[in-house]
Structure 1
Amino acid sequence: MSVILVRPRASGGLAAHVDQEKHELAAAGVDVREAPVQIQDRPHLLGDLRTVRALRQCVRAAPQPVAVHAHGLRAGALSALALPRRGPVLLAVTLHNRTVGSSLVRTVGRALLQVVVSRANTILAVSPDLAQDAERAGARDVRHAVVPAPERSGGSGDSGASGDVPPGGDRAVGTAAAADAVVVARADGASTTHHGADEGTGTDTVLEVLVVARLAPQKGLHDLLDAAALLRDGAPLRIRVAGDGPLHRELAARIIHEQLPVELLGRRDDVPALLDAADLMVSAALWEGQPVWLQEALRAGRAIIATDAGGTRWVTGEAAQLVPVGDAPALASAIEHHRSSGVRRAAEAASRHRAAQLPTASDMVRQVSQVLSLDRER
């Protein structure tokens, strides 16, 4: 049996997840191949027709029997159109993102979901709201998608098992990578250079908060800045945001104008070291699937505050303090609560406990094998 993966044009966590699935299935001895198509973000009649034709040819050319796993709503809909309504080819579709935008965009999204539901044997959803949408649309088999964090190498914030912090263990602070110089915009428009461990990192003197997020509207970063403004005149605080994106200029201008204790670090490749150097992890997202970086934070044994958005609760379980989406005062209050080292130690223990329950790559392979009936072929 062969498996054809169909992916949208995407980067970040979605692309990493598809890469991981392809690698793990191949390692398990599955004949897995990627469809030679690029699914665009928006409808394009001629382009979509070419995609459907290419998918049909790909299915015909693959060793029989064939199963198709499409990632994303448009990839799923185009795959559904490429396959016969009734036939031997199994189709699983993983829904990764909520359809947002104008009423027209949402209407198109609902229509695409109906196309997916009409043909897919199984729908995997990365969050409860996406699962509910699929069920309301009439999907026959809807399941919670297994989305494990890919393993990293090195650092006590490592996503792999070797990076877990043992119960009761102290975390390393101020590693060389985290101590890299970071240029920070100041309120007076000048620039200054900070080093990760020189301002009481890991102590009650300066509460070090880390956010890992693309600088995009979905991540709720203006709510984060609202919370920072509420905390600005209290005890010392530093919020570091690792990530880049279209809101960088807008957020930087606001940080300077309001003299907020927030640093935009830009894109970073040393997230495990940044986790080591922080006291508290925060996610202010308006919507999330199953955020990989929060899985990394759990495995690193860190205290976590997050908005109760999308599939976040599926990742954190009872380990994180969850606050309502868009509620900056609640976010600020939760951060203030975690100034207590005792509160953080209890939260770190909860994270380590939850980390042991997180899904693994083997769990993902097991789920995909089940929904695509690969187990019967091996």
Structure 2
Amino acid sequence: MSGGTVRVCHVITRLDLGGAQENTLYTVGHLRAPFAASLVCGRGGLLDDEASGLPGVPVTFLPSLVRPVRPWRDLRALRDLARLFRSERPQVVHTHSSKAGILGRAAARLAGVPVVVHTIHGFGFNDLQPAPLRAALVALERAASRFTTQFIAVSRANLEKGMALGIVPRGRVRLIRSGIPIAAFETAGRDEALRSGIALRREIGLPRDAPLVGMVACLKRQKDPLTFVEAMARVAAALPRAAFVVAGDGELRAAVQARCEARGLAGKLRLLGWRRDIPGVMAALDVLVLASLWEGLPKVLPQAIAAGVPIVATAVDGTRDVLRDGVSGLLCAPGDAAAIASGVIRLLNDPILGRTLAGRARAVLPEFDIDAMVRAQEDLYLELLGAAGCRDAAPRGNQAGAPEKALAVKH
């Protein structure tokens, strides 16, 4: 084709509350003409209703698309996706997450989709898995690479790891940062965010001048919330006025609660559950901690940077893309509760250091503008379609306007 509407179908395993899911929803809701976006995902995510409410974006929930490995169900998902692509005939299929990435790319190949893009938000394998399982997952990713026109990496660390493992061919990958709405987190002159921060402190019964340390993450092994609890127990011993919050939920919630009680943090460390007012949470914090064992590129870091919150984080994967130890944040080894605690205590005892590190960290913020993220994806789609002979690869120039609207939302 040389003109007209470009149908782009995004596929993600499940719409849980997380960076990959939030950015996928933002992208499909903000693609401009000539693009018409649609979304395919499994059911059961916290963001399902938000997806269904996106104006003009058809959403298809596939019961066969689930996160656990279920061979027969996965084959049904492959069949269902291929049928959907043959019916809807998208010019671009853009996949996210490991399960949807492998099945979606294979289905796109079966359906003859001309352009297939996959975003690496982090890999489904890690160094803590048993070697045979990790090898099998790497092999699957290598196989899916054959069905991929272009990769997007959100962090340079993941880009380099993908190339080193033979998953991402050189010349077929582009670095596009996972964006955030920067203005929503910048507290300078933003009364709403500041009021939200005060409201959160009031909600948990914390004086406005008491030190507050927080973690914003899903309570799962990757984010290592138990090490966060251990570290905060050390901080509490050194600074009795300090209080702690975790914004997030997940499979380790009961274990985290038990560890809090065992370490004497009951009443001092509050589990807030899932929160949608993350700008307000950030505005309330004095220090943010990221204790992850591995990452893609954690959106919580640019969110904290935009809010002016100093950070103590583990030096893993995309974290090192964002922060430089001792320059724009404090980095430590994953699993090291003592080092995390030491960094937090150092920042709470030296607010000038915290402000200095947070100020320097702002240098990376332009890379994380969420609208620039969408525009970069649009440009990539046009480039790939032009190379595939599907349309003239004209530059976007000053083209504006909303994406063409589809007629119905599927459930």
**Structure 2 length normalisation: TM-score?**
0.75
1:322 aligned onto 2:331: yes
Contact kept? 2:185, 2:303, Cα under 8 Å: no
> What secondary structure, in the 3-state scheme, does the structure 2 residue paired with 1:337 have?
helix
The equivalent residue for 1:225 is 229
Could you say which structure has the greater relative contact order, defined with CA pairs below 8 angstroms and 6 or more residues apart? 2
The equivalent residue for 2:216 is 212
**In structure 2, which of residues 278, 281, 288 is the aligned counterpart of residue 274 of structure 1?**
281
In 2: Cα distance, 1:88 partner to 1:248 partner? 42
Contact kept? 1:122, 1:371, Cα under 8 Å: no
Aligned residue runs from structure 1 range 17-36, under 5 A: 17-25=23-31, 27-35=32-40, 36=60
The structure whose residues are more often helix, as a share, is 2
1:116 aligned onto 2:134: no
Query: Amino acid of the residue matched to residue 216 of structure 2?
Result: V
In 2: Cα distance, 1:264 partner to 1:88 partner? 45
Contact kept? 1:215, 1:246, Cα under 8 Å: yes
Please give the per-residue CA displacement for 1:313-360, whole angstroms capped at 9, x wherever unaligned. 334465322222112222122112112121122123224443344232
> What secondary structure, in the 3-state scheme, does the structure 1 residue paired with 2:297 have?
coil
Contact kept? 2:122, 2:297, Cα under 8 Å: no
The 3 A distance-change label for structure 1 pair 275 and 77 is closer
**In structure 1, which of residues 239, 248, 257 is the aligned counterpart of residue 253 of structure 2?**
248
Q: Please report how far the alpha carbon of residue 119 of structure 1 lies from its aligned counterpart in structure 2 after TM superposition.
A: 1.6
The 3 A distance-change label for structure 1 pair 49 and 274 is closer
Please give the per-residue CA displacement for 1:147-189, whole angstroms capped at 9, x wherever unaligned. 112x3xxxxxxxx42652449x9x948855214433xxxxxxx
> What secondary structure, in the 3-state scheme, does the structure 2 residue paired with 1:21 have?
helix
| Count of aligned positions | 347
Query: Amino acid of the residue matched to residue 269 of structure 1?
Result: R
In 2: Cα distance, 1:70 partner to 1:163 partner? 28
Contact kept? 2:224, 2:293, Cα under 8 Å: yes
The equivalent residue for 2:239 is 235
Aligned residue runs from structure 1 range 57-68, under 5 A: 57-62=83-88, 66-68=91-93
> What secondary structure, in the 3-state scheme, does the structure 2 residue paired with 1:232 have?
helix
> What secondary structure, in the 3-state scheme, does the structure 2 residue paired with 1:119 have?
coil
> What secondary structure, in the 3-state scheme, does the structure 1 residue paired with 2:14 have?
coil
The equivalent residue for 1:312 is 319
CA RMSD, aligned part only? 3.0
**In structure 1, which of residues 174, 177, 184 is the aligned counterpart of residue 199 of structure 2?**
177
Query: Amino acid of the residue matched to residue 59 of structure 1?
Result: F
The equivalent residue for 2:356 is 346
The equivalent residue for 2:206 is 196
> What secondary structure, in the 3-state scheme, does the structure 2 residue paired with 1:269 have?
coil
**In structure 1, which of residues 5, 8, 14 is the aligned counterpart of residue 13 of structure 2?**
8
Contact kept? 2:95, 2:105, Cα under 8 Å: no
Aligned residue runs from structure 1 range 90-169, under 5 A: 90-98=115-123, 99-100=125-126, 101-135=129-163, 136-140=165-169, 141-149=172-180, 151=181, 160-161=182-183, 163-166=185-188
Unaligned runs of 5+ in 2: 1-5, 41-59, 387-392, 397-411
> What secondary structure, in the 3-state scheme, does the structure 1 residue paired with 2:199 have?
coil
In 2: Cα distance, 1:246 partner to 1:49 partner? 27
The 3 A distance-change label for structure 1 pair 43 and 148 is same
Contact kept? 2:156, 2:318, Cα under 8 Å: yes
In 2: Cα distance, 1:267 partner to 1:84 partner? 37
The 3 A distance-change label for structure 1 pair 63 and 175 is closer
